Amino acid sequence: MSGLYGVPDPASVASLAGKRVLVVGDVMLDAYLMGDAERISPEAPVPVVRVESERHLLGGAGNVARNIVALGGVATLAGTVGSDASAEKIRQLLDEEGIRSALVTLPQRPTTVKTRVMARRQQMLRLDQENSSDFSQQELDMILPVIASELGQHDVVILSDYSKGLVTSLFMTELHSLLRALPHPVHLLVDPKPSNVDLYSGAFIMTPNTKETGECAGLPVRNREEILAAGRTILARTGCPHLLTTLGADGMALFRSSDEVWHVPTMAQDVFDVTGAGDTVIGTLGLALAAGLDLLEACVLANYAAGLVVAQVGAAVASPDTLVEALGRLPAPHVSRWA
């Protein structure tokens, strides 16, 4: 079975405007120190990079929020930062990007920062500042009330887990009890960390890439049959109703259930930089669900957005205009049933 299934109407893009998504997770700062390496240090056999410019970008859960805002949605970012200059930088970036801040300062741990030292285009070194130990009860008691107060205004929550200590069994138990207490149903979407797979039961959908799908299932994912088996294993293991495996150059596979699986080929024509495509997928999917799109339609729209993003260099995002234009210009994807 194949054909024009799930292809969204360009008008559905307009329906994304103003819809709200709560992004919860590990917030990071991506820093770039850029310059030239012209000599070897007299102190040690390493190159000396003379820094000429610096760049800062929102990383981790922050990049998911960026994608939502770029599409016209209202994104609120709930997470933690330290009490340091990098936290100030993150708050400034949220402001500039128009992302609502629900950040909590935890003075006991540093803001997570990944600093790349670049000489021309070449990455020389990455410096990670982080404390990824599990959050204490006291730390959870600081972030949970903030999430609780945001939940009332949201019916889609994206959990962006980079395993920096927030997402623990205790956190998930508390989150689920907050969700259960709400008068309205909430869709919880998870960008998973395979080592935490058993923490995600109760989620509406997870969005692992191919490698993560294999790791979550503990199975190989070399071909369609193996991906189907791995996806079904994850559904059975977590009890989640749906699963979206992103397949890189092969697009994505939506497990609506164990025996209803759809394949959506990529829309990308040129591929320059695949960084952050996963954030585009889950951000677009969440916003489209908040706008009431059908799950398959929402995935197809997310696949269009990812196709636009990989065609650009850097941490690109898709806009409503480019999405509408792509929906009008590109031939409809050949969405087919894998099972």
Alpha-carbon span 330 to 314, nearest angstrom? 23
What are the structure tokens assigned to 169, written together?
């069994």
Closest contact distance (angstroms) between CB of 33 and ligand ATP is: 22
Alpha-carbon span 226 to 220, nearest angstrom? 6
- Which residues in 161-200 contact ligand ATP (CB under 6 A)? none
Confirm if 252 and 227 have CB atoms less than 8 A apart: no
Conformational region of residue 334, where left means phi above 0, alpha means psi within -120 to 50, and beta covers everything else: beta
Which of the listed partners (ligand ATP, Mg ion, none) does 322 bind, with a CB threshold of 5 to 8 Å by partner kind? none
Closest contact distance (angstroms) between CB of 26 and ligand ATP is: 13
Selected range binding Mg ion among 194-202, 224-232, 272-280, 302-310, rule: CB under 5 A: 272-280
Rounded to whole angstroms, what are the CA distances from 171 to 53, 112, 307? 39, 19, 34
Alpha-carbon span 98 to 101, nearest angstrom? 9
Closest contact distance (angstroms) between CB of 311 and ligand ATP is: 9
Strands 156-160 and 20-25: parallel
Conformational region of residue 44, where left means phi above 0, alpha means psi within -120 to 50, and beta covers everything else: beta
Q: Which is nearer to ligand ATP, 93 or 252 (CB)?
A: 252
What are the structure tokens assigned to 37, written together?
């390496």
Torsion of CA 285, 290, 293, 297, to 10 degrees: 0
Selected range binding ligand ATP among 15-23, 148-156, 228-236, 243-251, rule: CB under 6 A: 243-251
Which of the listed partners (ligand ATP, Mg ion, none) does 29 bind, with a CB threshold of 5 to 8 Å by partner kind? none
Confirm if 33 and 118 have CB atoms less than 8 A apart: yes
Which of the listed partners (ligand ATP, Mg ion, none) does 310 bind, with a CB threshold of 5 to 8 Å by partner kind? ligand ATP
> Is residue 278 part of the contact set for Mg ion (CB under 5 A)?
yes
Q: Which is nearer to Mg ion, 211 or 337 (CB)?
A: 211
Rounded to whole angstroms, what are the CA distances from 36 to 42, 46, 55? 17, 13, 15
Closest contact distance (angstroms) between CB of 63 and ligand ATP is: 8
For helices 277-290 and 295-310, the axis angle rounded to 10 degrees is 150
Closest contact distance (angstroms) between CB of 318 and ligand ATP is: 11
- Which residues in 251-270 contact ligand ATP (CB under 6 A)? 251-252, 266, 268
> Is residue 333 part of the contact set for Mg ion (CB under 5 A)?
no
> Is residue 125 part of the contact set for ligand ATP (CB under 6 A)?
no
Q: Which is nearer to Mg ion, 35 or 248 (CB)?
A: 248
Q: Which is nearer to ligand ATP, 140 or 288 (CB)?
A: 288
Which of the listed partners (Mg ion, ligand ATP, none) does 213 bind, with a CB threshold of 5 to 8 Å by partner kind? none
- Which residues in 272-311 contact ligand ATP (CB under 6 A)? 274-279, 281, 303, 306-307, 310
| Nearest Cα residue to 203 out of 174, 169, 172, 167 | 172
Catalytic residue set = 279
Query: Which residues make up the interface to ligand ATP (CB under 6 A)?
Result: 209, 246-249, 251-252, 266, 268, 271, 274-279, 281, 303, 306-307, 310
